[in-house]
Structure 1
Amino acid sequence: MATILCYGDSLTWGSIPNGGRYPKHLRWPSMLNDLLGHHHEVINFGLPGRTTLWNDPFLEGRNGLAYLQAALETFGPVDTLILMLGTNDLKRHFNVGTYEAAKGIEKLIDKARMPNTHGFSSPNLVVVAPPNILSPMGSLAANFDGAIEKSQHFHQHYQDMAIHNKCLFLNSAGILQPSEVDGVHLDSHANKQLAHALFSLLKDKIKP
């Protein structure tokens, strides 16, 4: 049995565009578990607002780097770690771009590969470049002011960083886009597309 930990933000947690949370079976980690088989365990550890490594002055506990080691110990040993973060890094008050988000993911990779006191092996790593942001709507419009153009560069910086760090890589913008309802979050079809793309990437790399 393999343990796959999905470490992400609201796109992993299962936020419904414009509010609410999808039932478990419509979130992509659950769909991935269905595809891989339930002798494996796919853990959804998404959290709305989570960043790669920035402390959000308006949301407590959203620094991804600060909580990764605890997550790996809590759910360990973890065979595969899927990192899908960076969208929230583009919020206006952080004033950074996708290059800095990719460097944040690199710090998470380093953390995941550090020796631990339990003797757990380092997990295999999958880096998912977040989808491009469309026109943010409603309450998201001010938060993500200027983020549309920045998000176009996720693919480039994340792929370069993933190759350099010998990680599996998936460009989600190549297979899906956010819902037009709010321009950021995924509809149920996009969740399904992401689950299938990750299954194709992982199916031959996870022991039966």
Structure 2
Amino acid sequence: MATILCYGDSLTWGRIPNGGRYPKHLRWPTILNGLLGNQHQVINFGLPGRTTLWNDPFLEGRNGLAYLQASLETFGPVDVLVLMLGTNDLKRYFHVGAFEAAKGVEKLIEKSRIADYHDFPSPTLVVIAPPNILSPTGAMAESFDGAVEKSQHFHQHYQDIAVHNQCLFLNAAGILQPSEADGVHLDTKANEQLAHAVYSLIKDVIKN
């Protein structure tokens, strides 16, 4: 049985555009588990507001780098680690762009490959470039001011990081877009699309 850890933000957690959380069966990690089969375990460890490595002054515990090692030990040994972070890095008060978000992902990759005292093997890494942000609406319009243009560069920088670090790579923007309801989060169709894309990417590295 393989353990697949999906380490992300609200797009992984299952945020419904404009508020709420999807039932488990509509979240993409759960759909992925169904595609892989019940002999495998897909763990949804998404957290709304999580960044790659920035400390959010308004939300506690959102620094992805600070909690990654504990997550790998908690759920380990992890066979496949799926990283999809960076959307929240583009909030205007962090003052960074897609390049810095990609470098944050690279730090996560490096952290995941550091040996721990359990002697767990390093997981296979999947790097997902987040989908492009559309026009954010409502309360997110201010937080993501300027993020639409920045998000257009996710693909380029994330692919460079993935190739350089020998990770599997998926460009989410190539297969889906966020809901027009809020411009950031995924609708049910996008959850389905993402699950099937990740399945196609990892199915051959999963041991039955």
- 1:135-155 per-residue CA deviation (whole Å, 9 max, x = no partner) reads 000000000000000000000
Matched, 1:82 2:115: no
In structure 2, the partner of 1:149 is 149
In structure 2, the partner of 1:134 is 134
Shift of 1:86: 0.1
Q: Show structure 2 runs of 5+ residues with no match.
A: none
- Per the normalisation by structure 2, the TM-score is 1.00
AA of the residue aligned to 2:110: D
Matched, 1:171 2:171: yes
AA of the residue aligned to 1:170: L
In structure 2, the partner of 1:71 is 71
AA of the residue aligned to 1:169: F
- Give the secondary-structure state (helix, strand or coil) at the position aligned to 2:42: strand
Shift of 1:21: 0.0
- 1:104-160 per-residue CA deviation (whole Å, 9 max, x = no partner) reads 000000000000010100000000000000000000000000000000000000000
In structure 2, the partner of 1:54 is 54
Mapping of 1:12-31 within 5 angstroms? Answer: 12-31=12-31
List structure 1 runs of 4+ shifted beyond 2 angstroms. Answer: none
Shift of 1:103: 0.3
- Give the secondary-structure state (helix, strand or coil) at the position aligned to 1:5: strand
CA distance in 2, matches of 1:13, 1:107: 22
- After superposition, the CA RMSD in angstroms is 0.3
AA of the residue aligned to 1:205: V
- Give the secondary-structure state (helix, strand or coil) at the position aligned to 1:108: helix
CA distance in 1, matches of 2:14, 2:4: 17
Shift of 1:205: 1.1
- 1:15-41 per-residue CA deviation (whole Å, 9 max, x = no partner) reads 000000000000000000000001000
- Per the normalisation by structure 1, the TM-score is 1.00
CA distance in 1, matches of 2:27, 2:117: 33
- 1:47-98 per-residue CA deviation (whole Å, 9 max, x = no partner) reads 0000000000000000000000000000000000000000000000000000
Q: Show structure 1 runs of 5+ residues with no match.
A: none
Identity of aligned residues (%): 79
CA distance in 2, matches of 1:132, 1:196: 19
In structure 2, the partner of 1:159 is 159
AA of the residue aligned to 1:96: V
In structure 1, the partner of 2:119 is 119
In structure 1, the partner of 2:37 is 37
In structure 2, the partner of 1:100 is 100
